[in-house]
Amino acid sequence: MKNKKIIIVGAGLCGTLLAIRMGQRGFEVHLHEKRPDMRKESVDAGRSINLALSSRGLKALAKAGMEADIRKSCIPMRGRMIHTLEGEQRFSPYSGRADEYINSVSRWGLNVQLLEKADEMENVKLFFNSHCQEVDLEHATATFRNSKTTEIWQDKGAVVIGTDGAGSVVRRSLMGRTTDLLFNYSQNFLRHGYKELTIYPGDGGSHRIEKNALHIWPRGSFMIIALPNLDGSFTVTMFHPFGGDYGFDALTSEEKVKDFFETNFSTLIPHMPHYVEEYFKNPVGSLGTIKCYPWQAYGKALVMGDAAHAIVPFYGQGMNASFEDVRVFDDLMEETGDNWSVLFERFQDMRVDNANAIADLAIDNFHEMQDKVADPTFVKKRQLEMKLEQTFDDYYSKYSLVTFKPDMPYAKAMELGRRQDELLLKMVEGIDVEAIDLNKVMDEISQLHSTPVA
């Protein structure tokens, strides 16, 4: 069993799902989490309250036998509800097909479901308050500090896998080895941050605005979005510049905040009478992209999930990409077994381009969600896409390729999706959507799909 012990650092969504799958395969798993057990103590994860779960994430959960259970905690969001400055609401479905939607899910609730599943398994052992300090890469040995007892101890496995998020300690240990590993790394922050607010439930736990939608109040250089929760509330997120006349750094008084909301989000105010208080209570988070390579060292240590590829939230793919890591890792294991060197190398080489692709797509969508949802050409393109989706079973928009086609790698979805977008934008320019011959469009798109990607 010497080769069978896996140390996982970080019991967030990715790490816990990985622990479950590795447990199901019969490995001895030690799952370490620096925070207390979130099932027993209130934990401020400092992270978003709810998330969008879609096909890639669901496919990974299905492999662990958990899809059906998790779906019970999901609220389908069938499209974007755009709220204009004038108070108009415009619903834009994510797909012309009824079974293609994304799901709002509670980060806490999902993590708890995963932890409970992991905890049931005899060969998976959970360690809370267990804060990784560093990893001895060559010896697959991680040093932990128990944040309650202050005890320092070492846990040695066949391998150490870091699923410890954007601030990963495991990645930091890789990074310290610049010369051996030629470790490439980048972190890039948007000049926008985010702050969470709340729309509380309506009468009898009802949803005060459309339940089955992801709501967007696009306002050019800033926006607000809202995702529904099961209790009738919505988690509202401001994506907002730090600087400038109305940036976070300038909105320092009640008066300024009120003024700003009354000017830009007046239709939201009736749903959040407490917003000024909440504004000053809640912190501002930053939005960063992390890329790195390699993800593994010596066949002994590996990072995955946000630890390897933290992305901005604008494609709703952060959790899905991390769950997909677990699914792909697990798929590869069918061939490699516990030949860790081969497994780790194949995994990183298969995943890195896809992780970079979804990172770039998420940045693109940041601009699209802010600016383009109101752009007439973009709206026409979306209309044309809707018609294509309703008419042709095999038409997929870029968004659908990324969100609803879990068998297509992100990199390919990006490449194809971008070429499709270019084509469609050209087609709708100066033309009424009704006048477009759908069959002709579909022909051109099929040609595009059969052209090899450069």
- CB of 184: closest distance to a copy of itself in angstroms? 5
- CB of 179: closest distance to a copy of itself in angstroms? 4
Between 184 and 447, CB nearer to a copy of itself: 184
From candidates 89, 133, 253, 286, binder to a copy of itself by CB under 8 A: 286
- CB of 237: closest distance to a copy of itself in angstroms? 16
Q: What x/- string results for residues 182 through 221 when contact with a copy of itself is judged by CB under 8 A? A: xxxxxxxxxx------------------------------
Q: Which burial class, exposed, middle or buried, applies to 417 when counting CB atoms under 10 A from its CB (0-12, 13-18, 19+)? A: buried
- CB of 286: closest distance to a copy of itself in angstroms? 4
Between 288 and 299, CB nearer to a copy of itself: 288
Between 233 and 289, CB nearer to a copy of itself: 289
Give yes or no for residue 378 binding a copy of itself (CB under 8 A): no
- CB of 178: closest distance to a copy of itself in angstroms? 6
From candidates 288, 338, 425, 448, binder to a copy of itself by CB under 8 A: 288
3-state per-residue secondary structure call for the chain: CHHHEEEEECCCHHHHHHHHHHHHCCCEEEEECCCCCCCCCCCCCCCCCEEEECHHHHHHHHHCCCHHHHHCCCEEECEEEEECCCCCEEEEECCCCCCCCEEEEEHHHHHHHHHHHHHCCCCEEEECCEEEEEEEHHHCEEEEEECCCCCEEEEECCEEEECCCCCCHHHHHHHCCHHHHCCEEEEEEEEEEEEEEEECCCHHHCCCCCCCCEEEEECCCCEEEEEECCCCCEEEEEEEECCCCCCCCCCCCHHHHHHHHHHHCCCCHHHCCCHHHHHHHCCCEEEEEEEEECCEECCCEEECCHHHHCCCHHHCCHHHHHHHHHHHHHHHHHHHCCCHHHHHHHHHHHHHHHHHHHHHHHHHHHHHHHHHHHCHHHHHHHHHHHHHHHHCCCCCCHHHHHHHCCCCCHHHHHHHHHHHHHHHHHHHCCCCHHHCCHHHHHHHHHHHHHCCCC
Between 157 and 193, CB nearer to a copy of itself: 193
- Could you say which residues in the range 242-281 bind a copy of itself, by CB under 8 A? 242
- CB of 256: closest distance to a copy of itself in angstroms? 21
Between 250 and 427, CB nearer to a copy of itself: 250
Q: What x/- string results for residues 159 through 178 when contact with a copy of itself is judged by CB under 8 A? A: -------------------x
Between 42 and 179, CB nearer to a copy of itself: 179
Give yes or no for residue 44 binding a copy of itself (CB under 8 A): no
Candidates 77, 59, 101, 97; CA nearest to 321 is: 59
Cα–Cα–Cα angle for 70, 389, 429, rounded to 5 degrees: 130
Between 15 and 294, CB nearer to a copy of itself: 294
Between 189 and 280, CB nearer to a copy of itself: 189
- CB of 282: closest distance to a copy of itself in angstroms? 14
Between 78 and 131, CB nearer to a copy of itself: 131
Is residue 98 within 8 A of residue 2, CB to CB? The reply is no
Is residue 301 within 8 A of residue 173, CB to CB? The reply is yes
- CB of 304: closest distance to a copy of itself in angstroms? 21
Integer Cα distance of 67 and 256 in angstroms: 45
Give yes or no for residue 285 binding a copy of itself (CB under 8 A): yes
- CB of 47: closest distance to a copy of itself in angstroms? 13
- CB of 323: closest distance to a copy of itself in angstroms? 25
Candidates 100, 97, 78, 91; CA nearest to 392 is: 97
Between 284 and 448, CB nearer to a copy of itself: 284
- CB of 33: closest distance to a copy of itself in angstroms? 22
Strand partners, 290: 187
Between 257 and 284, CB nearer to a copy of itself: 284
- Interface ranges with a copy of itself (CB under 8 A): 178-179, 182-191, 242, 284-286, 288
